[in-house]
Amino acid sequence: MLAHIVLAPLVLFAALRSVRLVKNYLTARKFGLPIILLPVSFEDLWWIPLRPLFSWVERLPFGLGNWYLYTEMGWPMIDGNRSVLRYGENFVLCAPSGIQIATAYGPGLEHVLKNHKSWPQPGAQSQLFAFYGQNVTSTNGAEWQRHRKITATAFNENSMREVWTDAVERTKQLDLPTKQDRSLKEIRSTFDILAMSLGFILDNVFLTVATNGVTSVPDYLLPKTLLRLKVSLNEFKKYMEEFVLHQMRLSNQEGIKSRTKSLLEGMVNANEAEKRSGDNRFTKQYLSESELYGNLFVFNLAGFETTASTMTFALSYLAGNIHVQEWVTEEVDQHYTNSDDRDYEKVYPKLVRCLAVMHETLRLASPAPLLVRTPTIVDEIPVITATGEKSIAIPPGVMVGMNGYGAHLSPRWGHDADKFNPSRFVTSSEKGEESLRVPDIGMFLPWLGGSRVCPGKKFSQVEFVAIVAQILSHYRIEPLLKWGEDDETARHRLLSVLDDKFFHVSAHLKRPDDAGVRFVPRMRA
Ligand code: HEM
């Protein structure tokens, strides 16, 4: 009897899902693309905590467990270009919960990105980081424009000078002279300057979403993890409140013109200025309190996570590719190390190779592996099949997943597509002047493109170049040797650790303790 009570709902659940899978399969067939059937998808929130228990599925014979990979949100980060080589640049993931067309085909990607108004993020995904309030990532249309206008005001050229100086100063404080040997785990935490509470929220981000409203539940009703989550959410809110208060006090002090010390401060200032201007009584052009915190949270998140991820990979790639490092150091010495004038305006535009290192790092280890969109009305996108290009009509509700890793590792990049070679982003004029050469967004999309391009793109570039120039002007970065190991073996070990990554808000290494780097002080002539 008890068995019946337990089994009956499960059988009904499985039957309903089978019906939905068949229905979705019939729709998916119309696209004329290869189809991969999934019994479950990462859109099924209940699957996320259960997924690790089923890792044995991948070891089933005859490819029976191939579907398992695609049930992880950031699967292209693990897959690289393997699926593209096997199924082509576009294929369909068909699950009971929905249909997703994964595409790495340039014209298709370009179409979706350039028409962001008719290709918004699907509702559930856009709300992922909205637990403090609506924000620039969670909104679309006119609402998104309002959020974007106010938050982007802070991203002007003046603030880039501050970003440059600030990044150089922070790099000087990394304590490299006293701690020269660092595992890749330590490298990551070197740049993870996040408050502990934000770290905990990110580690449990799906739990945070699933238990939205946890902050209003009394402590005694909460199990240990949820209680810690509640404390972390409150702590981070408090941190943001203190930050806003501090900023408002500064801008209210008579005679003190507060400098745009950081972009977050700039954002608060822009919001205050909009409020004061008085033109907004009928058309609200500033952020409500919850929206301000919603934005402060996503800017903290988007800024710090991506920097920590990109720096970890970039410094490791430089250590593992010593000739590339020498090539970059040559440029750093010419324009930075040996220069009295290290002003942002003078030096930054000349550090082309440093910026190329960032582009190459993001090509191989982008923090955003799969970005999903769905059309508001039926729209056609170009796809490529064995018989050539064609257009397929996508109805609302069907997702298009932009497979950044498939695009970044495509054979279109040449025979060395899987190798770290930043010089592919550099071109030389007849006079020998170097400049950056970046392919269009259909081929290279780490910051995305179109109007919804990452607002922190320039910020992240300036910050990255400043950190790399400052480090290379003083240190040579080498792979950390294990006892008795030679240089070549250590280098291979380091690069193989870099290949083993997974997605959790950004790119993470699966085995960050298995390799490390050494910052060796450079001898000056
Ligand atoms: C290596 C550095 C970075 C990379 C690769 C990167 C990448 C991206 C990508 C791919 C998106 C689009 C996400 C989507 O539409 O689903 C995005 C959006 C965004 N990024 Fe970045 N980002 C970086 C650094 C930053 C920094 C430093 C900030 C802030 C200071 C920032 C703030 C944002 C915000 C607020 C959005 C949402 C924009 C919108 O929806 O209109 N990012 N970023």
With a cut of 70, say whether residue 151 has pLDDT above it. yes
The predicted model scores a pTM of: 0.90
Query: Higher model confidence: residue 91 or residue 127?
Result: 91
Provide the edge-to-edge strand list for the sheet that holds 399-403: 35-37, 90-95, 98-103, 399-403, 370-373
Please tell me the distance from the alpha carbon of residue 75 to that of residue 69, in angstroms, as a whole number.
6
Q: What does the pLDDT average to over 454-472?
A: 94
pLDDT, tens digit, 9 for 90 and up, residues 407-417? 999 999 999 99
Q: Of how many residues is the chain composed? A: 525
Question: Does the C-beta of 461 come closer than 6 Å to ligand 1?
Answer: no
222 confidence band (pLDDT: 50, 70, 90): confident
Contact present, 101 and 30 (Cβ < 8 Å)? no
For the CA of 372, the closest atom of ligand 1 is 16
Helix axes 157-172, 457-474, angle to 10 degrees: 30
3-state secondary structure 350-390: HCHHHHHHHHHHHHHCCCCCEEEECCCCCEEEEEEECCEEE
> Using CA positions, which residue lies closest to atom 43 of ligand 1?
454
Question: Does the C-beta of 454 come closer than 6 Å to ligand 1?
Answer: yes
Q: What does the pLDDT average to over 215-226?
A: 72
Ligand 1 centroid–CA 455 distance in Å is 6
pLDDT, tens digit, 9 for 90 and up, residues 308-340? 899 999 999 999 999 999 999 999 999 999 888
With a cut of 80, say whether residue 218 has pLDDT above it. no
With a cut of 70, say whether residue 213 has pLDDT above it. no
**What rounded mean pLDDT belongs to the chain?**
87
Helix axes 322-332, 457-474, angle to 10 degrees: 100
Nearest to 372 by CA among 120, 169, 69: 120
Q: What does the pLDDT average to over 355-365?
A: 98
Ligand 1 centroid–CA 4 distance in Å is 50
Contact present, 184 and 512 (Cβ < 8 Å)? yes
**pLDDT above 90 covers what percent of the chain?**
56
Ligand 1 centroid–CA 379 distance in Å is 26
Q: Quote the tokens at residue 511.
A: 């085995």
Q: Quote the tokens at residue 188.
A: 């990551």
Question: Does the C-beta of 312 come closer than 6 Å to ligand 1?
Answer: no
Pocket test for ligand 1, best of 454, 462, 464 (most atoms within 8 A of CB): 454
Question: Does the C-beta of 368 come closer than 6 Å to ligand 1?
Answer: yes
Provide ipTM, 2 decimals.
0.99
2 confidence band (pLDDT: 50, 70, 90): low
**Which residue reads 């120039």 in tokens?**
469
Question: Does the C-beta of 294 come closer than 6 Å to ligand 1?
Answer: no
Contact present, 188 and 312 (Cβ < 8 Å)? yes
